[in-house]
Amino acid sequence: MRKTDEENSKEVISDPLQAVLSALKTQAGSDGKRGLPPVHLWNPEHCGDIGMEIRKDGSWWHDGGIIGRQKIVRLFATILRKDPDGIYLVTPHEKVIVHVEDAPFIATRIDRVIEDEAQKLVVATNVGDVFVIDAEHPLRVSVDIETGEPAPYVEVRAGLEAKIARAPFYELVEWAEPIEGKDGNVIGVSSAGQVFELGSIE
């Protein structure tokens, strides 16, 4: 199937990486200058469960009702923290567990940028995060044992992952090349000098 002009325009070859990042951040509704709170430094004594959940489609819910205001969702997303026993909303004064059905974020878009003959894959999430897949933001694909269905994820920060949506994952597969992996011949994609396996060659 031939790609439309709009789809083809997503593959950026000559534009500088910073220009692409800036454009994506603007599109995502972020100015790119927001600082993340130092949640790793906060250890409040009060810990509770107020019925916060993130469903597999990326929607946020509280006590059975959906949180429809995106600004509030994005604010909550900045104070998420993954601890050994679960994912929490953390402030200096309290810590609230968040029941996550799959992953806390969704990777809604991935763009391929070529800079100085090096490929970088730029991810945008449903809560305004924009980053490059690299050693600090690794890509992984798990496979359902029963169905064989792949489930791709990318780390956003400090163990918090984004599930890669179907459309951008198909693009990753289109950009993939055969590589030699730990389980034999597989396909993989490179980004920022790292190579990430996507799955076995059938």
Express each pLDDT in 39-48 by its tens digit.
999 998 878 8
- Are residues 93 and 112 both part of a single domain? no
- Are residues 81 and 125 both part of a single domain? no
| Integer Cα distance of 105 and 117 in angstroms | 30
How many independent structural domains does the chain possess?
2
pLDDT of residue 201: 63
Q: From 154, 196, 162, select the one nearest 177 (Cα to Cα).
A: 196
Whole-model pTM: value is: 0.81
Considering only 21-25, 90-94, 114-118, which range has the smallest mean pLDDT? 21-25
- Are residues 178 and 143 both part of a single domain? yes
74, part of any domain: yes
Indicate whether 130 pLDDT > 60: yes
Q: Measured in whole angstroms, how far is the alpha carbon of residue 84 from the centre of its chain?
A: 20
